[in-house]
Structure 1
Amino acid sequence: MPEYKAPLRDIRFAMQELLDFEGHYSKLPGAEDASADMVDAILEEAGKFASQVLSPLNQSGDKGCTLTDTGVIAPEGFKQAYAQYIEGGWPSLAQAPEFGGQGLPESLASVVAEINGSANWSWTMYPGLSHGAMTTLMTHATDALRARFLPPLVEGRWTGTMCLTEPQAGSDLALLRTRAEPSEDGSYRITGTKIFISAGEHDMSENILHIVLARLPDAPSGNKGISLFLVPRHEVNEDGSLGDPNSLGCGSLEHKMGIHGNATCVMNFDGARGFLLGEPNRGLACMFTFMNNARLFIAQQGICHAELSYQGALSYARERLQMRSLRGAVAPDKSADPIIVHPDVRRMLLTQKAFAEGGRAFSYLCAQLVDLAHGAEDPAQRQRAEERLALLIPIAKGFLTEMGVEAASLGIQVLGGHGYIAEWGMEQILRDARIAPIYEGTNGIQALDLLGRKVNGSQGALQQGFAAEVQAFIDAERGNAELGDLIGELERQLQRWNAITDRLVAEIGQDPAQLGGAAFDYLMYSGYTVLGYLWALSAVKAQQALAAGSSEEAFYKAKLSTARFYFRRILPRNEGLAATLTDSIDTLLDLPEDAFAF
């Protein structure tokens, strides 16, 4: 397994030079303590924790969790690492001070989550899901429930989950059957089975708070009849102390392809006591608070696996000797040259690097928008941030997880046969990465959300608003002679994105089936274009640093080279997507169903 080292120089570049987090925090209410020195100190400590504590547990954690008569036991070392995590105050980093939090910006916690996730994604899912539970309780719980349940959750003594999926109800939650019966004391009795529940049961925390979707007895059918409930593993007394075990438990652990270190549970609720969150029959809308948080978290998973696989592949490529460079021996004193000199290996490494670093910038842009959507004083600024997030969240989740799988696969390829052998750890990265395009809404669902609800639902306005910002950047750099080829190509891609959007909105209005045929390719085209914008912006910042005489010449030249690689070798994928986006839905639907038989 690669020994993860937090890429702090690139993280600082994305935060400070590319997106001006220091200026962002100086204008964000409540972020006064997030000075450059404090942020830097937090990043340094996060890097140490990830590399020294979490990374060594990644490969051993692949052995998986154990289901016993008394519950689920996490892999060896996970519980101890979580205790250190609590001791360091990490769970409370971005939580409200009135519940024991440190009140720092959510975006800073997001960066820390990326560092942890790159070192050990399975472990990071435990506190990651807790963060979503905290946000949901802050937004939708009553004052009494918040006072009772949030402090230990913020402290990290308790963890949280999200319980949506059922055997018959995956992406289609209208089919949900879990029941909620009112009790005389104002609570509810929850009965039903949930599957694929990450961190549903484990021994790392004192209590687990399940955020559960269920139906009230008089609820209407479909999505409009779903309510949201808080269901603790252990009953919680009025004074906050733990009571008896609730009527719920893990029925089994899923046997899965990857992320073995995280307990993916079948959870059975047998009249478990729960509490209503938000309004009755408005649970799906409330749950989107958790789901949007989770989708950004999973977008980061793509970056995490791309980064870890890149680090492993790069280390191997520098040491592995095979053949000679086509331009002559690079290491004549050795039996062969290191494979990093070969163009095809460079292609794979640069693809990983472009996705990891470009994806990092994309993720941080979204995190910055979350800060503004939740905390900006100006209502217009909050509204603008919410609109940008509505467009960018499905693109980030779908595109970055697809790229994470590709990067992880390339990491295996760089190592060749050794990449396919478990002891090197590269194949685990791919197995862990493969779930990311599936959970928290499959990427097909993300694509339908993007093109259907967001783009078509706004008649193109959400896409137009973001495109106008990109166009403003292009206009500002139009006279940049050194980077004119990148700026010009970005404008061509942007204009075509605008034209594709306008055409699809018109076509969907005439035939709604066109939505399903175009959605995924539209999401991918959008992702490549957004990443193109961020790589062009990165190139401009690198150019400016070099012109100012920076002593980090190698770092900034690498940024410029990677930007050019992205524009010349990856962004041209949009040409094929543009072609498929002009095709009729008939190509997909003309074939009769029985013709699929074999």
Structure 2
Amino acid sequence: MPSYRAPVEDTLFILNDVLGFHHHDNLPGFSDASPDVVEAVLSEGAKLADTVLAPLNAIGDKEGCKRLHDGSVTTPKGFKAGYDAFAQGGWMGLSVPEEYGGQGLPHTLNSAIQEFVSGANLALGMYPGLTQGAMAALLVHGSEEQKQAYLPKMVEGAWTGTMNLTEPHCGTDLGLLKTKAVPNGDGSYSLTGTKIFISAGEHDMAENIIHLVIARIEGAPAGTKGISLFVVPKFLINEDGSLGTRNGVSCGSIEHKMGIHGNSTCVMNYDGAKGWLVGQENRGLNAMFVMMNEARLAVGIQGLGQSEVAYQNAVAYAKDRLQGRSLTGAKAPDKAADPIIVHPDVRRTLMTIRAFNEAGRALMLWTALKADIGHRSPDAAERQAAEDHMGLMTPVVKGVLTDKGFDNAVAAQQMFGGHGYIEEWGMSQFVRDARIAMIYEGANGIQAMDLIGRKLPKDGGRAMMTFLGEVQTFIKDHDEDEAMKPFTGPLQAGLNDLQAATMWFMQNAFSKPDNAGAGATDYMHLFGLVAMGYMWGRIAKAAIARKAEDAGAAERMDVKLVTGRFYMERMLPETATRLTRIKAGAETTMALAVEAF
């Protein structure tokens, strides 16, 4: 049976030593998040993840969800109790404003807890995760009446939330959607249509489900300019807040999936379901993108969570499994063979995953902190800079952390040899569960195109220039420090490759757009390599400082410094390969006629 232990110690180090979390105490909510409170929150969240959610993970994978004849859905054994423990612990509203029943703490802490939950039980964690995304959209675009009607119950966990975008003929290109909304004359609308791939669309863990649905009001413009967003509850709500009659929305079927079996992925039928407009008419995508961006960052965290849990189990197996002898002589002469962790290729695999996990966690938390600054800072310039960062990094966090999270789950499975292919060891679940994160909330090829086509040129490239400038300044500030040279030298080489790739696109993509399309994924990963290299530079700086002031932490900090050097020596140089691919352009990619495939 696989195990999981939430990385509390590393998360605290990143927040406190690397990111200076408590330097932001002037922002609303941060003053309540003292070091003691942060440690307590993370420790309690870890306890929930480790002891309640993780033991249900394999059960959820084996049992899955079941749709009954009346259209209701039952979740796997123990899932409702696990969800109740999450809700009753107050985790749903950790960063929701207090006026709606939340705790008003920084979103950064919620992101850390999301990693713990995703690593422990991805399928179960999606139920509250989608609810938090729906709440985010209502907080920004909902009317005060809608916020008061829905948010307190969602924060309480009595109601959950979903997002309904995809239709059978309409995935990435939402302008093709057919779900229609007809005004009822009383401020409500009747929605009719079918949505597919709706995570947590129907289940038995909450008394009501609040669906956020995009649809086209009759007579609206074609394409994305005519899309509106509606809130559609499973049960209508009476004026006194109690639940009324069942709405015209139902689960038509449950998708049979490769992974995340414990989450009910539904086909949802809307048959004249009553809904209410959220935000402005025909501006639904603006409102939905609040939820989608929240979800894309959360999905990046899912990739990181699966990488972490797969790593933990691979390490445990590698320390225990006896096979062969070390190339430099027996390391366990009292045993028939050495544990496989003595072998360089096993260590290469494990170090690769570990180096990614620590840098990916730092990148995720850095981006979450920027989200807090963007929402809470009283300084307009600071808010703008934070929002620039969020826009630029969202496709990188989503695309890179999920691509590599899946790769790492496969690599961790490889450590088990044939046992990794056997279900009872549990490694295949991590591979199967991690796979969806590369697809939903915008497939990763779309994330790469979004980065190249929209995020890079936005506002004259302001966000990108700020990032490049920040990394260059970091290198310059520490280039004379001998202890930092193993980090600044490789980081400079990676940064040079990123700058060269960016310039190449500027010179070659406008006249031939296929060049951008052919190189987009390589560029996204090149960017991710440099961003995580920058994180390793900051981690190294913090580790050196911690060693100097705390002798008791020296051994742990040395482990970080060695891991960081491995990243710089063995992983960051991949930027050169990515740059070469980008510069090859689109000629051979697009040369074959369709018939030749």
Is the TM value for this pair above 0.5? yes
- Whole-Å separation in 2 of the counterparts to 1:134 and 1:578: 40
Corresponding residue for residue 543 of structure 1: 544
Corresponding residue for residue 493 of structure 1: 494
1:424 aligns with 2:425: yes
Corresponding residue for residue 580 of structure 2: 579
1:157 aligns with 2:158: yes
Corresponding residue for residue 323 of structure 2: 322
Q: 1:351 corresponds to which letter in structure 2?
A: T
CA shift at 1:517, angstroms? Answer: 1.3
1:136 aligns with 2:137: yes
Question: What does residue range 565-576 of structure 1 map to in structure 2 within 5 Å?
Answer: 565-576=566-577
Corresponding residue for residue 14 of structure 1: 14
- Whole-Å separation in 2 of the counterparts to 1:364 and 1:190: 39
- Whole-Å separation in 1 of the counterparts to 2:88 and 2:435: 32
Gaps of 5+ in 1: none
Percent identity between the two aligned chains: 49
Corresponding residue for residue 57 of structure 1: 56
SS in 2 for 1:27: coil
Corresponding residue for residue 403 of structure 2: 402
- Contact 2:88 2:156 (8 Å CA) reproduced: no
Corresponding residue for residue 276 of structure 2: 275
Q: 1:435 corresponds to which letter in structure 2?
A: I
- Contact 2:373 2:386 (8 Å CA) reproduced: yes
- Whole-Å separation in 2 of the counterparts to 1:37 and 1:184: 53
- Whole-Å separation in 2 of the counterparts to 1:103 and 1:459: 35
- Contact 1:460 1:505 (8 Å CA) reproduced: no
SS in 2 for 1:159: strand
CA deviation digits over 1:149-179, x for unaligned, max 9? 1110111110000100000000010110000
Corresponding residue for residue 33 of structure 1: 32
After alignment, is 453-462 or 124-133 more displaced?
453-462
Normalized against structure 2, the TM-score is what? Answer: 0.98
Q: 2:32 corresponds to which letter in structure 1?
A: D
- Contact 1:126 1:199 (8 Å CA) reproduced: yes
- Whole-Å separation in 2 of the counterparts to 1:531 and 1:227: 37
Gaps of 5+ in 2: none
Corresponding residue for residue 46 of structure 2: 47
- Contact 2:251 2:268 (8 Å CA) reproduced: yes
Corresponding residue for residue 172 of structure 1: 173
SS in 1 for 2:149: helix
CA shift at 1:421, angstroms? Answer: 0.6
- Contact 2:160 2:208 (8 Å CA) reproduced: yes
CA shift at 1:476, angstroms? Answer: 1.1
SS in 2 for 1:335: coil
Q: 1:130 corresponds to which letter in structure 2?
A: T
- Contact 1:148 1:239 (8 Å CA) reproduced: no
Question: What does residue range 254-333 of structure 1 map to in structure 2 within 5 Å?
Answer: 254-333=255-334
Corresponding residue for residue 361 of structure 1: 362
Question: What does residue range 555-566 of structure 1 map to in structure 2 within 5 Å?
Answer: 555-566=556-567
SS in 2 for 1:260: coil
Question: What does residue range 122-521 of structure 1 map to in structure 2 within 5 Å?
Answer: 122-521=123-522
- Contact 2:385 2:463 (8 Å CA) reproduced: no
SS in 2 for 1:215: strand
Corresponding residue for residue 594 of structure 1: 595
User: Cα RMSD over matched residues?
Assistant: 1.0
- Whole-Å separation in 2 of the counterparts to 1:357 and 1:488: 20
- Whole-Å separation in 1 of the counterparts to 2:595 and 2:432: 33
SS in 1 for 2:204: coil
- Matched residue count: 595
- Contact 1:464 1:498 (8 Å CA) reproduced: no
Corresponding residue for residue 67 of structure 1: 67
- Whole-Å separation in 2 of the counterparts to 1:452 and 1:550: 49
- Whole-Å separation in 2 of the counterparts to 1:209 and 1:554: 49
CA shift at 1:536, angstroms? Answer: 1.6
- Whole-Å separation in 2 of the counterparts to 1:52 and 1:514: 49
- Whole-Å separation in 2 of the counterparts to 1:456 and 1:519: 14
- Contact 1:28 1:372 (8 Å CA) reproduced: yes
Q: 1:78 corresponds to which letter in structure 2?
A: F
- Whole-Å separation in 2 of the counterparts to 1:148 and 1:234: 13
Q: 1:6 corresponds to which letter in structure 2?
A: A
CA shift at 1:549, angstroms? Answer: 4.2
CA deviation digits over 1:164-203, x for unaligned, max 9? 0000000010110000000021100010000000001000
Corresponding residue for residue 526 of structure 1: 527
- Whole-Å separation in 2 of the counterparts to 1:582 and 1:405: 27
